[in-house]
Amino acid sequence: MNIIITIIVTALVVLYAGLFKAKKALLPLTLIGLLTSLAFVVTSWNTNQTYYGMMQMDNFALAFAGLAIIGTLFIFLLTQNYFSANSENTAEYFTLILFALTGIVIMVSYKNMSMLFIGVEIMSVALYILAGIRKNNFASNEASLKYFLMGAFSTGFLLFGITLIYGATASFDLDMINKYLVENPQSVSPLFYTGVILLLVGMCFKIGAAPFHFWTPDVYEGSPTLITTFMSTVVKTAGFAAILRLFADTFAPLHDFWLVPLMVIVCLTLFIGNVTALFQKNFKRMLAYSSISHAGYLLFSLVSLTASSMNNVLVYAVAYTFASIIAFGVLILVKQKTGNDNFESFNGLGKRNPFAALALTVAMLSLAGIPLTAGFIGKYLMFLNVMHDYHFYLVAFAILNALVGFYYYFKVIVAMYFKEGTEVELEMPVQYKVVLALSLIITVFLGIYPTVILNLI
């Protein structure tokens, strides 16, 4: 609870600091707040506190909250001059990101369906505004509107599902719902089945899994890159944590029932994400589609429920988050210099800024799942997970998709090293160096020695 309170207080303090035009103080205040909440994550470890049956701060919740906070921290470090160049109201944006983070912490720790809904809404409303941050930009407005419409639509599904499940079980409490399933294995109400499907659809909208992914590319492309980074890393991870809490735990007794639709979703997501990413000329849009395909790999954890399913998602999410932060960080720099985010803008980056090129290369290798990077360990765990139930065809299909993935991830490596570009050097602010270096170290370290996070949850 103290984590949430800290974040909210930080958000309000930042808002007031903005009111008094203390622009210089915004970033330090935010960082102090986030570090404090991170400290609370560490001190609450293993305590497993429950708050009035509404939220449960178990290690699962704390691990994902910690990841979300660190991810947000890194993204804030990348903000240097970013918002002030876009708009006057920097403080508001800081506050909105912090509010979204609050929603995320609730999403990963809910123990009651109503909290799930509240968490999703707190997060989403803040994000609708953030997507439209650039008031005078057409694409940004489009992104915001699309995100809002689709988000509202999917929230409808979510709410409807929750209602039906309440109708069947007379409870919002996850334990009670699970108890209902365990006690009536033969006579589960049809309402319940419908509710599960609606929840699955609603959540798949939120994480951008096919065939509910249509909003992602446009929203990711139209939003300011920094917000896209936030959406595709922290927000996405939170969505997965929320799904896992529900499906890997509460709905686990009905696994046979929701496995079929899930498999369809997984295969479609992998296929559409990878194949469409292949045809993108725009790096940012490619990352958007690749994030769809990663959603597919992440869903592997639900295809076979094993003791380590949850931890596997955490490992994958960590690998994905830091690789994406590097990718978007370099993208922001390149875009500031060249003015567009096509693959051609990366031409010759190997010479213009060797460190940025190296970091981006490692990030791409990690996203593609090459050994000695964290991404490989993540993919390996996912394959291992589904092989437990001998889903050979799924793994074979995933391998074919991974091969497609190499093509588009290597496109940017090819551009950076093998193509000649302008000779203009790309200088990098200190904060970017710190964030990229840290993410790089995490990616390589976890690729070589993942033991540190394998048994976290």
Partner 1 sequence: MEQLLILLIFLPLVGAVVTAFLGNAAKHVALGSAILSLGLTLITVCNFTPDASTQFAVNYPWIQDLGINFHAGIDGISMITILLTNVLVPIIILSAYQHDYKKPNAFFALILFMQFGLLLVFTALDAFLFYIGWEAALIPIYFICAIWGGKDRIRVNMKFFVYTIAGSLFMLMGIIYLYLQNPAHNFEIQAFYNLNLDAVQQGWIFWAFFIAFAIKMPIFPFHTWQPDTYTEAPTPGTMLLSGIMLKMGIYGVIRWLLPIAPVGVQEWGHLAIILSIIGVVYASIIAFTQKDAKRLVAYSSIAHVGLIAAGIFALNTQGMQGAMVQMLSHGINVVGLFFVLDIIASRMKTNKIADLGGIAKKAPQLAIAFLIIVLGTVALPGTNGFIGEFLLLIGIYQYQVWAGVFAGLSIIFGAVYMFRMYQNIMLGKTNDLTIGFTDIKGSEKVVLYVICAMIIALGVYPKPILHLSEASVQQLIEQVSQKLTSVN
For residue 42, the minimal CB distance to partner 1 (Å) is 22
Nearest CA to 34 out of 70, 60, 64 is that of: 70
Q: At 303, list the tokens.
A: 């295809």
Q: Give CA–CA dist 290/40, Å, rounded.
A: 33
Q: How many residues bind partner 1 (CB under 8 A)?
A: 26
Burial 42-60, CB ≥16 within 10 A → b, else e: eebeeeeeeeeebbbbbbb
For residue 101, the minimal CB distance to partner 1 (Å) is 30
**449 near partner 1, judged by CB under 8 A:** yes
- Contact of 357 with 417, CB cutoff 8 Å: yes
* Stretch of 122-130, 282-290, 291-299, 444-452 lying at the interface with partner 1 (CB under 8 A): 444-452
The CA–CA distances, whole Å, from 427 to 104, 351, 356, 434 equal: 34, 12, 10, 14
* Stretch of 66-74, 76-84, 269-277, 449-457 lying at the interface with partner 1 (CB under 8 A): 449-457
Q: Which is nearer to partner 1, 51 or 406 (CB)?
A: 406
Q: Which is nearer to partner 1, 5 or 399 (CB)?
A: 399
**371 near partner 1, judged by CB under 8 A:** yes
For residue 57, the minimal CB distance to partner 1 (Å) is 24
Q: Is 431 exposed, middle or buried (0-12, 13-18, 19+ CB in 10 A)?
A: middle
Kind plus residue range of the DSSP H or E element containing 123? helix 113-131
For residue 389, the minimal CB distance to partner 1 (Å) is 10
Q: Which is nearer to partner 1, 22 or 403 (CB)?
A: 403
Considering only CA atoms, give the Rg of the chain: 21
Which of 166, 410, 433, 438 binds partner 1 (CB under 8 A)? It is 410
User: DSSP string spanning 179-247?
Assistant: HHHHH-SS---HHHHHHHHHHHHHHHHHHT-TTS-THHHHHHHHS-HHHHHHIIIIIHHHHHHHHHIII
For residue 262, the minimal CB distance to partner 1 (Å) is 21
Q: Which residues contact 137 (CB under 8 A, 6 or more apart)?
A: 222
Other C-beta atoms closer than 10 Å to the C-beta of 203 total 23
Q: Which is nearer to partner 1, 61 or 362 (CB)?
A: 362
Read off φ and ψ for residue 133, nearest 5 degrees. -55, -35
Q: Which is nearer to partner 1, 111 or 391 (CB)?
A: 391
DSSP 317: H
Q: Which is nearer to partner 1, 46 or 455 (CB)?
A: 455
**254 near partner 1, judged by CB under 8 A:** no
* Binding track over 134-153 against partner 1, x by CB under 8 A: --------------------
- Greatest Cα pair distance, the chain, in angstroms, is 70
For residue 194, the minimal CB distance to partner 1 (Å) is 36
**51 near partner 1, judged by CB under 8 A:** no
Kind plus residue range of the DSSP H or E element containing 418? helix 392-418
**188 near partner 1, judged by CB under 8 A:** no
Residue corresponding to tokens 């290369």:
361
* Stretch of 13-21, 273-281, 335-343, 446-454 lying at the interface with partner 1 (CB under 8 A): 446-454
* Binding track over 305-334 against partner 1, x by CB under 8 A: ------------------------------
Nearest CA to 287 out of 320, 310, 257 is that of: 320
DSSP 57: E
Residues 378-407 that bind partner 1 (CB under 8 A): 380, 383-384, 387-388, 392, 395-396, 399, 402-403, 406-407
Which of 6, 290, 450, 457 binds partner 1 (CB under 8 A)? It is 450
Read off φ and ψ for residue 319, nearest 5 degrees. -60, -45
For residue 369, the minimal CB distance to partner 1 (Å) is 9
Which of 22, 414, 437, 441 binds partner 1 (CB under 8 A)? It is 414
**264 near partner 1, judged by CB under 8 A:** no
Q: Which is nearer to partner 1, 16 or 407 (CB)?
A: 407
Q: Which is nearer to partner 1, 149 or 399 (CB)?
A: 399
**417 near partner 1, judged by CB under 8 A:** yes
For residue 361, the minimal CB distance to partner 1 (Å) is 9
Kind plus residue range of the DSSP H or E element containing 56? strand 55-57
Q: Which is nearer to partner 1, 237 or 312 (CB)?
A: 312
Residues at the site binding partner 1, with contacts judged by CB under 8 A: 365, 370-372, 380, 383-384, 387-388, 392, 395-396, 399, 402-403, 406-407, 410, 414, 417-418, 449-451, 454-455
